[in-house]
Homo-oligomer: A and B are copies of this chain.
Amino acid sequence: MEKLYVIKIGGNIIDDETKLSSFLQSFALMEGGKILVHGGGKLATKLAKQLGVEQQMIDGRRITDAETLKIVTMVYAGSINKDIVAKLQAYQCNAIGLSGADGNCIVSHKRGSNSPLGVGGIDYGFVGDVDQVNSAFLKSLLDQNIAVVLAPITVDVTGQLLNTNADTIAQETAKALSSLYDVELIYSFEKNGVLLDVNDESSVIETIDPSSFKKLKEEKKIFEGMIPKLDNAFAALQSGVKRVIIGKAEELNQLISGSSGTSIVQ
């Protein structure tokens, strides 16, 4: 099967023009099919502030009310997505930017839509959990040698746009395409990888398998915020994804070659 890279870049890269350009230059040069999933960065929060739209946060999560949904749709699917696509075109990499509504490529449902209070008693507002990825459609683009750039906005079956976690989009897209491609899923962020000591960038754990993950958790040697990412990584591997890598966005080439970052293996 052909190789496909599904790469998630976090907000800190999006907020840093130099880092983003450098990342996109590396991305443009990569061989094989490629899908880039981007998060939101600080631009939406900044715009909301300028417009006087108050941002409600519960447990560190943004509550997406109707006004906030309009803002994140503009910023994620408009501003950030089109800037990335235009930059990739400048680097001679044909790309297409999509929200989940485009080609119905990522269909979700409103979180907690069966309960007025949502998950855990919290109503997150217009937030979507992914149900289905239209892999045939994405393949039709990849077959034309077009890189797909996914904004973290999806759509439900009633045509409601929903704010959606970019990590989840990356994971679900990687899983859905694993029957058509040899998929490698890369979570790129600001750190060198999964660290034994969160303050020491040289303490990267090169490989994590289920038994070492269990041990690391038991010994509380792993940063708590990293656990859901690793849980998702193992879930992706169990659904047919070939390799999951977590590491630094600026070292994309090394992440792919395996000389940097943390590899999650079964």
Any B CB within 8 A of the CB of A263: no
A:130-180 near B, CB below 8 Å = 137, 140-141, 144, 146, 153, 155, 158-161
Closest to A134 in B: B94
Cα separation A154 to B78 with both chains bound (whole Å):
13
> In the complex, are the beta carbons of B85 and A96 less than 8 A apart?
no
Distance between A259 CB and nearest chain B CB, rounded to angstroms: 30
**Other-chain contact of A74, B79, B86, B137 (Cβ < 8 Å):** B79
Chain A 201-245 per-residue mask, 1 if CB under 8 angstroms from chain B, else 0: 000000000000000000000000000000000000000000000
Contacts of A144 in B (CB 8 A): 103, 137, 140
Any B CB within 8 A of the CB of A97: yes
Closest to A72 in B: B78
> In the complex, are the beta carbons of B89 and A159 less than 8 A apart?
yes
Chain A 64-81 per-residue mask, 1 if CB under 8 angstroms from chain B, else 0: 000000100111111101
Range for the number of chain A residues in contact with chain B: 35 or more
Count of chain copies: 2
Distance between A7 CB and nearest chain B CB, rounded to angstroms: 18
Cα separation A106 to B129 with both chains bound (whole Å):
33
Any B CB within 8 A of the CB of A199: no
> In the complex, are the beta carbons of B94 and A101 less than 8 A apart?
no
Distance between A144 CB and nearest chain B CB, rounded to angstroms: 6
Distance between A85 CB and nearest chain B CB, rounded to angstroms: 5
Cα separation A84 to B167 with both chains bound (whole Å):
26
> In the complex, are the beta carbons of B51 and A103 less than 8 A apart?
no
> In the complex, are the beta carbons of B70 and A99 less than 8 A apart?
no
Any B CB within 8 A of the CB of A249: no
Contacts of A4 in B (CB 8 A): none
Closest to A91 in B: B159
Can you give 30 contacting A-B residue pairs, CB < 8 Å? A50-B50, A50-B51, A51-B51, A73-B82, A74-B75, A74-B78, A76-B78, A77-B81, A77-B82, A78-B81, A82-B99, A82-B101, A82-B153, A85-B102, A86-B155, A86-B160, A88-B159, A89-B104, A89-B155, A90-B159, A91-B159, A94-B103, A95-B101, A95-B102, A96-B98, A96-B102, A97-B102, A103-B146, A137-B144, A140-B144
**Chain A residues in the interface with B (C-beta under 8 A):** 50-51, 70, 73-79, 81-83, 85-91, 94-99, 101-104, 137, 140-141, 144, 146, 153, 155, 158-161
Besides the known contacts A85-B99, A94-B103, 13 further A-B residue pairs in the complex with CB atoms under 8 A apart: A70-B79, A74-B75, A74-B79, A77-B82, A78-B78, A78-B79, A82-B102, A87-B159, A89-B155, A90-B159, A96-B102, A97-B101, A103-B144
